[in-house]
Structure 1
Amino acid sequence: MPARLPSPAAPRFPLTPLALLVALASGSATAAAGGLAGQLGAGQSDFGGVGLMQVPTARMAPEGTMSVSGNRTAPYRRYNVFFQPVAWLEGGFRYVETENRLFGPSIAGDRNYLDKGADVKLRLLDETRYWPQLAVGFRDVGGTTLFGAEYLVASKRWYDLDFTLGLGWGYLGNASDVSSPFGWLADRFDDRPRRAGGDQGGEFAVDALFRGPMALFGGVEYQTPWDPLVLQLEVEGNDYQSEPGGNDQTRDSRLNLSARLALSENLELRGGWQRGNTAMAGLTYNIDLAGMRQVKNDPPPADLDAAPRGDWARVAETLQGNAGMRVSRIQQEGQALYVQAEPTTFRAFPQSEGRAGRILHAEADDGIERFHYRWENRGLALRESVHDRDDFVAAARSAEHERQHRQGIYAHARLQEPGGEPLYQASGQRFNWGLGPRLDQNFGGPDGYLYRLMAVLDAEYHTDPNGWFSGQLAWTALDNLDRYEYRGQSDLPRVRTFLGDYLAESSLGIENLQYTRTARLGDDWFAMGYGGLLEMMYAGAGGELLYRPFASRWALGLDANWVRQRDFEQRFDLRDYDTWTGHLTAYVETGVEDVLAQVSVGRYLAGDWGSTLDLSREFDSGVRIGAWGTWTDASDDFGEGGFDKGLYVSIPLDAFFTRSSLDSAGLAWRPLTRDGGARLNRRYGLYGLTDARDMGHYWRDYPKTWD
């Protein structure tokens, strides 16, 4: 009879935005982002993005950098978050709070006006010995365009000086030094629309790009002999006589002066004098997302010559504790030993396989020639990696044999069940739970920053390898949701703009309670069905079908769901609104800068039809950053902002801790919560569950076989 290993309840902690914020703030596990603080040509401008003060430069941050900054130059306070997803592209968003303007009594009469904007900068040419670095950029291109601008800028370094010269349109060109060079193409280029991006803002302001008069801007940075200090001088292109909301400012000079002082490798203090009459102060914190790592204190790999355990249940237990593999079956067929398992600890499959090979070599009899690792997830068989035993042992003893071992490894997805009696068979039933903090937040609207600090109980009960119940119970410990008042105008069903009612109605709510089941329908076909309380706002049932060829750069998925809106108290009562929603989604690994493109077409929660484009990149550190935009046939009824859009970052938790983990935490930003383009927040998705189908970075990660 096969041995059985029980699966006791094991606590695990929900990994949440709160944990991410605490870890980022501490900086204890974050790389130094190349020591950007106090580095020549690497400072963040007042508006965010690499620049001087009010003006941008052609410089870019190191690839994978995230910069968070805030500053005040009366009457404006600016809060910025910018990313460098690839070497030639910078993007980010900001909030601009205007101290002497209010939203107005119809929205939030006693609160300062808050504007939202997004920027993009593209590097056109790298700097050489004789040529400057050249970039083109778009400021506030996807927001209200109150501060909208376009520019062409060049930067050139000379010893400890970094010079910048540019041409600006819009907010950067209000000084009107020269007429538009595009006027000879069409008369409309001579004038710039006062308001662009649609009647309510939020659309791409293509109707204003490079229109109107231009102004010259530029400046220089000087790296002082004291390394932490950089001095700046700039000439800006704005005359402050066309400020948003008629908020014109007195300008005594186009020259601005400032200094950047590094307080640490990541933290920088900024101060200056602008317009000839106004002080500026700010802080910048840089985070190296691409290089985030922490020295690990994982258990050492097992000894190749360890004494046999003589019990395959104990072997399975050791494989989970040392190799990060939750084993469901161990089976021998002829000269091959098969281990069927789900990864639980290490992001690199070679690391788990290398650790497992040591354990299996010590246990298996001399007749075993190959180790087969059959990787699965939630009962879905995904792929098999095969190692020659003798080659593995030789390489483990001496690096001279690594090449032969590596050349002998092969992977495939022909997952026929081996014959023979299992040496070990795990029970399909298990229970997992965890209790931890979570921070929900909503910001950027007239109500200001809203937060809810919660304790979340998360549990799963697996009925068998392919089916499980999951649930989340959230208790609010601290919040400021009494400030939630503004719901916004919308001609659509309120499928998301009741958010504040859900957040404020009850201190204890069931956020998720569902049963989920998976199945493999063929070599490349996977299916999933689910039903219950699917998320905080919706209950219902649905299913997903995914076609994902092995080691392919593309996959195609289809989900369909019937849902009904839940009551605000988040118990079991339901509201009257129900609908069908679902999408056909193509997933494409573009092969360009490790960018994953997801294109979805279908029906959204408000009954609108449209498409969503999601572009993201995962770095070697495991951090993924991305952006999405949704366009539907309800854009005229959407409310403020003509389409849904946002940015997100997902960070693996082992970047902060000394023990390896597959868990991650994420933060997402969207300008406003609106009803158009709203999607069901499904807890599980087949593309994520079938990650092992992608060989990905297997060969690049091969050196981790010996970690």
Structure 2
Amino acid sequence: MLDAINTGSDTQDLTSHQQHLGSGQGDSGGVGLMQTPTARMAPLGEFSFSYHQTPPYRRYSISLQPADWFEFTFRYTEIENRLYGAAIAGDRAYLDKGLDAKLRLWEESRYLPEVALGMRDAGGTTLFGAEYLVASKRWYDLDFSLGLGWGYLGTRSDMESPLSVLDSRFKTRPGNAGGDQGGEFAFSQLFRGPVAAFAGIEYQTPWQPLVLQLEYEGNDYSNEPSAEPLEQDSPVNIGARYHVSDNLTLHAGWERGNTLMTGITLSANLASLHQAKRDAPPLSIAPAPAPAATPSSRAQQKPLTEGLDSSTTADETNWRATSEQLLANAGIRVHRLVVSGDTLVVEGEPTKYRSLAHTEGRANRVLHNNAPDAITTFRYRWQSHGLSLRDDVHSRDAFVSAAQSIQAEPDYYYGIYTTPAKGVSRGEVMSTPETQRFHFNVSPGINQNLGGPDGYLYQLLVRANGKYLTDANGWFSGTVGWTVADNFDKYDYIADSDLPRVRTYIGDYLDESSLGVTNLQYTRTKRLSDNWFGMGYGGVLEMMYAGVGSEVMYRPFNSDWALGADLNYVRQRDFDQQFGLRDYSTWTGHLSAYVQTDFEDVLAKVSVGRYLAKDIGTTIDLSREFASGARMGAWATFTDAGDSFGEGSFDKGVYISLPLDAFFTTHSRDHLTLSWQPLTRDGGARLARRYSLYEMTEDRHLDRYWEDRDKVWE
């Protein structure tokens, strides 16, 4: 066991307390010691929020691990002894925004260390701009790191940049590389100027929650963005991390030889989110929906056919009861049940389970225990908002055989096939359940603005959501929001901009009324042809805008790409969020390309078009969905606003989307999205449309279906 630990990352046989080594967030966010980074990465899918205080700096960071080799950090640094200025924000402390990235170049092996290349504050004002190359090696309960730092990490200037042998420009580091307004990527600074060495050690103590740290940093604090110089009595920092749980870590340290550091980290692994479920319906709902057999029990399982009347005919089947069981047991809202020869077609929408394989497995049991013996095939025609997306076809006999014997599973899996849904199901309609036309729910909500001189602004609210179906393809939707608590009365500062105020009125909207209509629209969909889909809508489209619009999308069946276009005419709403309108109006719309890449399961979305402030540009959105259903992503918008854009120069942000069934004991297909962006800007502002054809047609893509095929037995 000791020898296995000594080999480092080439073994997974590590106890839980040794896994704390190299897993902590540094002062600036991202995996590291305190002031210095390491080559270590957080587990795939890790999301961390950290707060660290090392006077005069308070740092708030969000760190994402979308790939096991890539770390992305979004950070705010509050400088306590430096002000924005009386004309901007009175006596409020200065707040700096920054984006960090770290790439692992290769993994640790028995003899070689793990090596990573990173950048700090690359997309902000570059007040803390730095680059580094670092190596880390584990030995028993110790983790060693050694690196070279440029910029903020290398102000001690131990040597010239090693890259100066390639070009003399690497000897000096230019200033103000983030642009006059900040926010531009500082490419001209990268790996330029003198460098300094840094090093560190982490020690996992015998007491499992505690990790001790020692580091030697390359910053001599001679060039700080604080209002006054900082004294450094020692380049050696000591610290400790106490892991209260897998999700909560406390930090403390003594830095610069004279300053106390404290911090806290909240983390969650989005890739492994899971919650045991207790909402499986009782067996009395479906008379004999025998549970799928496990490998150990399948040989002893009673046949699924037990108790069925072999002489049952289609006319004698209680189709209405079958539809009710499909909803309760399998989570299918049935639109029609059609018998076509020896095939039973179920037309409907999945409402409960995220995995369609899970839904179909439960539905197979319901249908087998209700359908007449003449039925040999079950066909599921999946629909969304009236749009037919695809057909999944299962052999009844193959399913029964696989449920009784694990040896029959391969034949059953190979027999399942999917096709694009075409036309209307032909045959005898056995059931058209009465549509539940009205749907209603209450949910929490949050609006936030952070990164400006006003500090962190928030609005906590309760949303009442309603939906009334006029038919399968049309519906009214509405949302009323009631503010529970907020501090938007502090929203005073508006960044310099020559653009129309299309988003920076946010404080007026939230301060004017505690009860507002944030959505009230009619939406209609239509399948235009085999691969073309359309949608039109009109009404109160979001908190700030009302209008009309439409969207079309070309999405081939089971394709990794899709193309869409939306066009909208909108007018700004009154601040009270009722039904009055202001004078400002505009056309806005985008051409969008969606590509589900084979690279780390990344979904790339690129949109080109006209934004609410009449500027023209491009939004790039990169995200990754994990098997848990959680998604993490980041986006950036660049427009032709130029100097008129104001502070930040371009818009950007990060977000996570969480499946609700990861937090509750009941299954759900719904998600909660949380996003963070540095400022509320007018440049690059998009209309917050409630519905998207790409999301509606998501089940046209089959990758997750085959990956989840074992869920057919759950």
Q: How many Å separate the matches in 2 of 1:427 and 1:410?
A: 30
Matches within 5 A, 1:433-444: 433-444=440-451
Q: Distance in 2 between matches of 1:435 and 1:205?
A: 45
Gaps of 5+ in 2: 1-14, 284-288, 291-303, 310-315
* Cα deviations by residue, 1:152-207 (Å, 9 ceiling, x for unpaired): 11111111111111111110011111112233444432222232211111111112
- What is the identity, as a one-letter code, of the residue corresponding to 2:536? G
State the match for 1:102 in structure 2: 83
Between the aligned partners of 2:513 and 2:552, the Cα distance in structure 1 is 36
Name the counterpart of 1:188. Answer: 169
AA at the equivalent of 1:266: N
Q: Which AA in structure 1 matches 2:187?
A: V
Matched with 1:465 is: 472
Instruction: Judge conservation of contact 1:635–1:676 (CA < 8 Å) in 2.
Output: no
Matched, 1:619 2:626: yes
Secondary structure, in 3 states, of the residue corresponding to 1:356?
helix
The C-alpha deviation readout for 1:369-399, integer Å capped at 9, x for no partner, is 1000000000000000000111111112222
The residue that corresponds to 2:650 in the other structure is: 643
- Match for 1:216: what amino acid? A
Task: Give the corresponding residue for 1:16.
Answer: none
The reply on whether 1:686 has 2:667 as its aligned counterpart is: no
The answer for the alignment partner of 1:8 in structure 2 is none
Correspondence 1:48 to 2:29: yes
Equivalent of 1:477, from 484, 501, 524? 484
Query: Which amino acid is the alignment partner of residue 637 of structure 2?
Result: T
Residues 37 and 617 (structure 1 numbering): CA distance in 2 closer, same or farther, change over 3 Å? farther
Match of 1:151 in 2: 132
Deviation per residue, 1:231-280 (Å, 9 max, x gap): 11111111111001443200011100111112123221111111111111
Does structure 2 conserve the Cα–Cα contact (< 8 Å) formed by 1:38 and 1:227? Answer: no
Selected match of 1:169 from 139, 145, 150: 150
Q: What is the aligned counterpart of 1:587 among 590, 594, 608?
A: 594
2:52 maps to: 71
**Which whole-Å CA distance do the structure 2 matches of 1:203 and 1:496 have between them?**
21
Q: Is 1:342 matched with 2:323?
A: no
User: Aligned AA for 2:389?
Assistant: L
State the alpha-carbon separation in 2 of the partners of residues 47 and 686 from structure 1.
39
- Judge which range, 111-120 or 395-404, deviates more: 395-404
Matched, 1:700 2:700: no
Letter in 1 for 2:211: V
Write the distance in 2 (CA, Å) between the matches of 1:393 and 1:182.
67
Q: Distance in 2 between matches of 1:635 and 1:620?
A: 40
Partner of 2:497: 490
CA drift of 1:435 comes to 2.1
Residue 451 of structure 1, aligned match among 437, 458, 481 = 458
Q: Distance in 2 between matches of 1:371 and 1:263?
A: 51
SS in 2 for 1:290: helix
Measured in 2, the distance between the counterparts of 1:594 and 1:298 equals 31
Q: Contact between 2:489 and 2:507, CA under 8 Å: does it hold in 1? A: no
Partner-residue secondary structure (3-state), 2:593:
strand
Confirm or deny that 1:219 pairs with 2:226.
Answer: no
In the other structure, the counterpart of 2:557 is 550
Once residues 135 and 437 of structure 1 are traced to their aligned partners in structure 2, the CA distance between those partners, rounded to angstroms, is 40
Instruction: Trace 1:147-296 onto structure 2 (pairs within 5 A).
Output: 147-296=128-277
Amino acid at match of 2:242: L
CA contact (8 A) 1:598 1:614 kept: yes
CA apart distance, 1:103: 1.6
**What residue number does 1:14 align with?**
none
Deviation, structure 1 residue 281:
1.1
| Residue from 569, 575, 579 that aligns with 2:582 | 575
2:607 counterpart residue number: 600
CA RMSD, aligned part only? 1.6
After superposition, give the CA deviation of every residue in 1:33-59 in whole Å (9 maximum; x if it has no partner).
Answer: x96897111111000111010000001
Residues 336 and 432, structure 2, Cα contact 8 Å, conserved in 1:
yes
- Normalising by the residue count of structure 2, what TM-score does the alignment of the two structures yield? 0.92
Within 1, Cα distance between the matches of 2:219 and 2:611? 42
Instruction: Compute the displacement of 1:467 (Å).
Output: 0.3
Question: C-alpha deviations, 1:207-252, integer Å up to 9, x for none?
Answer: 2111111111111111122222111111111111100144320001
The counterpart of 1:113, out of the listed 74, 80, 94, is: 94
Q: Does 1:511 align with 2:492?
A: no
Tell which deviates more after alignment, 240-249 or 534-543: 240-249
Report the Cα distance in structure 2 between the residues aligned to 1:481 and 1:253, rounded to whole angstroms. 43
CA distance in 1, matches of 2:411, 2:694: 33
Q: Deviations over 1:530-589 (max 9, x none)?
A: 011101011111111100000111111111111111111111111111111111111101
CA contact (8 A) 1:432 1:460 kept: yes
Structure 2 counterpart of 1:313 = 320
DSSP-derived class of the 2:81 partner: strand
Secondary structure (helix, strand or coil) at the match of 1:393 reads: helix
- Check whether the contact 2:81–2:227 (CA below 8 A) recurs between aligned residues: no
Aligned equivalents of 1:476, 1:79: Cα separation in 2: 26
What residue number does 1:379 align with? Answer: 386
- The yes-or-no answer on 1:561 pairing with 2:542 is no
**Contact 2:79–2:226, Cα closer than 8 Å, also in 1:** no
Instruction: Tell me what 2:112 maps to.
Output: 131
Distance 1:407 1:196, change over 3 A: same
Q: Structure 1 unaligned runs (5+)?
A: 1-33
Alignment of 1:342-361 (within 5 A): 342-361=349-368
C-alpha separation between the residues in 2 aligned to 1:258 and 1:340? 61
Q: Secondary structure at the match of 2:115?
A: strand
Q: Give the deviation of 1:414 after TM superposition.
A: 4.2
Q: Is the 8 A contact 1:513 1:534 kept in 2?
A: yes
Cα deviation 1:390-424 (Å, max 9, x = unaligned): 11111122222111111111000142323233111
Which of 339, 342, 363 does residue 332 from structure 1 map onto?
A: 339
After superposition, the C-alpha distances for 1:603-655 in whole angstroms (9 at most, x for unaligned) are: 11111111111100000100000001111111321111111111000000100
What TM-score, normalized by structure 1, do the two folds share?
0.93
Residue matched to 1:58 = 39
8 Å Cα contact 2:52-2:60 kept in structure 1: yes
The answer to whether the 8 A contact 1:37-1:263 is kept is no
CA distance in 1, matches of 2:152, 2:18: 28
| 1:463 to 1:84, Cα distance in 2 relative to 1, 3 A | same
Deviation at 1:95, TM superposition (A): 1.2
Task: Decide whether the 8 Å contact of 1:431 with 1:461 is kept in 2.
Answer: yes
Q: Give, in whole Å, the separation in 2 of the partners of 1:40 and 1:248.
A: 34
SS of equivalent residue, structure 2 residue 20: coil
* Equivalences, count: 675
Kept after mapping to 2: 8 A contact 1:90/1:121: yes
* Residue equivalent to 1:7: none
Give me the whole-angstrom Cα distance separating, in 2, the residues matched to 1:246 and 1:441: 29
> Is 1:656 aligned to 2:637, yes or no?
no
Answer yes or no: is the 8 Å Cα contact 2:564–2:593 preserved in 1: yes
In 2, distance between residues paired with 1:306 and 1:101?
79
